[in-house]
Amino acid sequence: MAPKKRVTMHDHAAEASLFKRRALFTFACVVMLLSILLINLYHLQILSYTDYETRSNDNRIRVVPVAPSRGLIYDRHGKLLAENQPFFSLELIPEKVKDVPDLLNQLSSLIPITAGEQEDFIESLKYHRRFKPITLKNRLTENQVALFSVNQHRFPGVSVVAGLKRHYPHNGLMTHALGYVGRINDRDKAALQRSEQWKNYAATNDIGKQGIEKFYENLLHGKPGHLEEEVNNRGRTIRTLKSVAPEPGQDIYLTLDLKLQQKAAELLKGRRGAVVAIDPRDGGILAMLSSPSYDPNLFVHGISSKAYNGLLNSRSRPLINRATQGQYAPASTVKPHLALLGLEDKAVTEKTRIWDPGFWQIPGVERKYRDWKRWGHGWVDINSALIHSCDTYFYDLAYKTGVDKIAQFMGPFGFGERTGIDIFEESAGIMPSKDWKRMRYNQPWYIGDTISVGIGQGYWTSTPLQLANAVAIMANKGRRFTPHLLKSIKDSTSRIDTPIDERAPIELNDPNNWNIVNKAMRDTAHKSRFKDAKYTAAMKTGTAQVISVAEDEKYDADAIEERFRDNALIIAYAPYENPTIALAVVLENAGWGGANAGPVARALLDEYMLRDTLEQLQ
């Protein structure tokens, strides 16, 4: 007997209710999702329209910065000292070249490209976008540019691109004053970012590294322009939409006199030393030479490691600006200032005389401090002591005044502190005192230290710039200016002289003391180096010991290694009646100041004072 089939009864009402609930849930989900979509569309199309439009334009429009041309530098007479010269480089767009190694081989037959340069270039392509140009060869000559232009059809994707680079037409003549520009490094970048100037260097690879180029970087650099280019989704340029021209840097005129600088370089050729000449009427630097020098153009395009190490390790130290960083014992060149102190302090008068037997002794001490003239000068007063540079007179003067009075009096003349000249490379030198020695060496000050300071030796050091500044103040009878190199600035419309920084003058209790000392300097010049000059000059020479000589030992230059021989110095100004130039000359290891530095000072003053006459004769 067959089993009975089970019959299932459907509850249509329940099924209908379940379907209805599921349909409502599905509909609600759809409505919710549509609402979310509509809200997002409202946010994108209405609320954030401006933001997304900007983003779209940023993807479509590329802003390309355009470098400004750097301001030019001239001397006081408008002669060019630093210019911008066009340079040519060879650039390649990788995607337009089928076989780069083969192309490089063919190019090398026209333009020298070494195997090492080819390898470096191929390696650099790995990190470069193929549609962007990349530099293949820098600093092409005009012949190379012409040769490539004739054969350019053979090299698709390769082109010559022109630009501007700094150039110094006088090579090493002005290096230590002008400085140079070089490629921006990480340190420069960090400094620019801190000063919020980085945006102005978006199109620039170079920045001032030293000297005027660095100090007046903000004036010389200018402001970049830009191009707005429409690009496709792969970054390729379609068209240029807008062009904003860059603002060139301002041209500047310096106080330097090119002809005087050239004369100084001619006179110091092959020697180590420095020349600084100042216009006492305003503090403008007429000449500032450090010898030996170097060609700053080497740094503009990137100096090789070998060449840089050669400069860095040279015993002649050409990288040092001797005019502002060289620290030398001032020797007898500061005797006029010490004499002025003696008169002001009433330690001596114009008529005070002392006996010079060729040496001086501290009372109660056996040691003898020798005069440069071993048999002495006999009776000397302040005038004859300066004319003959009598050491004994100034030993005695230093003993009477003391080192602290000397240090205090010399401060306003600029010794022991930076002058404030408008370049960063400057040393303060040393103006010693009791407190200075205690702080520096943790040692007491001895009276013998004072005696050495009395003739500009011992711990006392100064830069040639300080010496020139000090003699300018002496010539001005206390009127002081901050030494400076900038004379005027020229923008697109006019040339404007920069303000002169005149400092508070040095005032003496007896102003006639200026006349006493200056007259002695005039008599010194008249009886020696400038006795036949067509103008009236004033001067004081100095011979500075580099190494000490024992009390009973005689100095013999021929028996001493050259770098340990005496330094030759001179300070001078002219004309005596109304000074227009004051200068200091330091020659390292040259020996006697009058015999070696003297002719240099005479030739420089002749060049400056008699230029118009000499030019008429020519």
pLDDT in tens, 44-93: 777 776 766 655 555 566 666 777 889 999 999 999 999 998 888 888 78
Read off the pLDDT of each residue in 527-551 and give the average, rounded to a whole number. Answer: 83
Q: Is 377 annotated as a binding residue?
A: yes
Q: Which residue would you say has higher pLDDT here, 56 or 369? A: 369
User: Each residue of 389-444: pLDDT tens digit?
Assistant: 999 999 999 999 999 999 999 999 999 999 999 999 999 999 999 999 999 999 99
Give span(s): CATH 3.90.1310.10, the chain: 64-254
Residue 160: other Cβ atoms inside 10 A? 16
Percent of the chain with pLDDT over 70: 89
Q: Per DSSP, what are the bridge partners of residue 538?
A: 573
pLDDT band at 281 (very low <50, low <70, confident <90, very high): very high
Q: Is 371 annotated as a binding residue?
A: yes
Q: Which residues contact 616 (CB under 8 A, 6 or more apart)?
A: none
Between CA 581 and CA 468 the distance in angstroms is: 10
Q: Is 99 annotated as a binding residue?
A: no
**In one letter, which amino acid is 440?**
R
Residue 542: other Cβ atoms inside 10 A? 29
Q: Which residue would you say has higher pLDDT here, 496 or 563? A: 496
Give span(s): CATH 3.40.710.10, the chain: 258-312+326-617
CA 374 to chain centre: 45
CB 291 within 8 Å of CB 265: yes
* pLDDT for 203: 77
Q: What is the secondary structure of 149-163 as a DSSP string? A: HHHGGGSTTEEEEEE
Is the pLDDT at 268 greater than 90? The verdict is yes
Q: Which residue would you say has higher pLDDT here, 282 or 204? A: 282
Closest CA to 315 of 588, 609, 6: 588
Catalytic residue (one of 290, 293, 332, 452): 332
Q: Lowest-confidence range among 295-304, 328-337, 373-382? A: 295-304
* pLDDT for 106: 82
Preceding omega of 292 cis (within 30 degrees of 0)? yes
User: Which two three-digit tokens encode residue 9?
Assistant: 């009864």
User: Which two three-digit tokens encode residue 263?
Assistant: 């004369």
Is the pLDDT at 616 greater than 70? The verdict is no
Q: 139's torsion region: left (phi>0), alpha (psi -120 to 50) or beta?
A: left
Is the pLDDT at 563 greater than 90? The verdict is no
CATH homologous superfamily, domain 258-312+326-617: DD-peptidase/beta-lactamase superfamily (3.40.710.10)
Preceding omega of 296 cis (within 30 degrees of 0)? no
Between CA 78 and CA 495 the distance in angstroms is: 11
Active site residue 332: yes
* Secondary structure class of 605 (helix, strand, coil): helix
Q: Is 221 annotated as a binding residue?
A: no
pLDDT band at 187 (very low <50, low <70, confident <90, very high): confident
CATH homologous superfamily, domain 64-254: Penicillin-binding protein 2a (Domain 2) (3.90.1310.10)
* pLDDT for 86: 86
